[in-house]
Amino acid sequence: MRAGRGMAAAVLLLLGGLLAGCQVAVPGSAGVSAADRQTAERRAEQRAAVDAALTTLGQAPAVALKATIKGAEQQIRVTRGGTALGGVPLDGGVVQVAAVGGQFYLQADAEYWKAHAIDEGTQFGTSWVRSLGSELPLDPAARFAPAALADGLRKALPGLDRLGEPVKAKLADGTEVYQLGAAPSVLRVTAAKPSRVVSFAPVLLDPQAGPKYGAEFQVAPLAGDALKAFHTDLDTAVGALGQPFEGLVQASAVVTNDKLDCKDFVGSCTTTVDVSTSVVGSPASGEKSVVHINLSVEVSADSLGAQTCTTAADAEPYATIKMSCTVKFKLPNKTASYQVLSKPNATAEVRAALDANAVKQKVAAEFAALGG
């Protein structure tokens, strides 16, 4: 009986082993579908195109960024070193920009300056103003230079990545492009090699400040004749800067020691005054500036009426200079004496001391290194 029970136990153990063996899982998977593989391949092609396009952009000697504002095309061109020239769309308007010789200049209408609490808006609206790139939402010379622009767009890529099939579109000229992201955050690069950046939304560079520059910039690299034309236009622009206003400094002028000297039997009266200047603020980047003084003198005499003369001069900040202004009355043909009064008034504005030839030399050295 013991032997029988032993046999039965052995058989039961064997059966138990067979039953347990039937429950062993075989590792493996159902596999990736052909459609999924094709999507993955096309996404890899898109990533390669975008990477190549941004690399090419970052290595460009210069780029042109174009935007359409109120039906008119505006263009700003920027070199690898941050030298820039052109119109920047801003809040539906346009601000002209010139970044040369390490200095930043802009030109805008009086409304722009008034919106920035600058009382001299009317004067600024007629001239270039030396300021800082940070005056604008994004410093165009710093953020739009090829390498910086490529880096900024590359940092925005994670927010544009969408799972699934890459989106392609055709431009008006038939160029096929990859379209990453969705409005208003869109980046477009060519699908065919050599890959290049076609356009981008400024919001990609800065979600807060970028939209102030509009919806989209078209991108074109500059080399060869286009780069040489850029150099020529910069030289012309530097020559036209004149004596720009200082946007970060304000000046005042005080008239003292006014002296009136009238010539008998001639009718001419000369007012000589001392004008003292003072300033508030510091010039952009610590560059030298001068105080431009406008002197106006109203001279009046009994029965002869009033005459006004004007003159201008430049002075150092916190300096006192002498200025003179002369009027001439038409005297009647008789002997008489007249009581003459003089009312001088001086205003001051700070101007940048710009050496245009020195700036052009710096620009020439930069473009020689770029091949333009």
Give the pLDDT band (50/70/90) at residue 165.
confident
Predicted pLDDT at 13: 38
Q: Mean pLDDT throughout 65-78?
A: 90
Give the pLDDT band (50/70/90) at residue 93.
confident
Beta pairing partners, 345: 296
Predicted pLDDT at 188: 97
Share of the chain above pLDDT 90, in %: 63
Predicted pLDDT at 121: 52
What are the pLDDT digits (tens) for 43-71? 899 999 999 999 999 999 999 999 988 77
Q: Angle at the Cα of 296 (from 292 to 298), degrees rounded to 5?
A: 170
What are the pLDDT digits (tens) for 113-163? 877 756 555 567 668 999 899 889 999 999 999 999 999 999 999 988 777
- What secondary structure does DSSP assign to 2-29, as a single string? HHHHHHHHHHHHHHHHHHHHTTPPPP--
Predicted pLDDT at 326: 97
CA proximity to 206, closest of 158, 161, 153, 248: 153
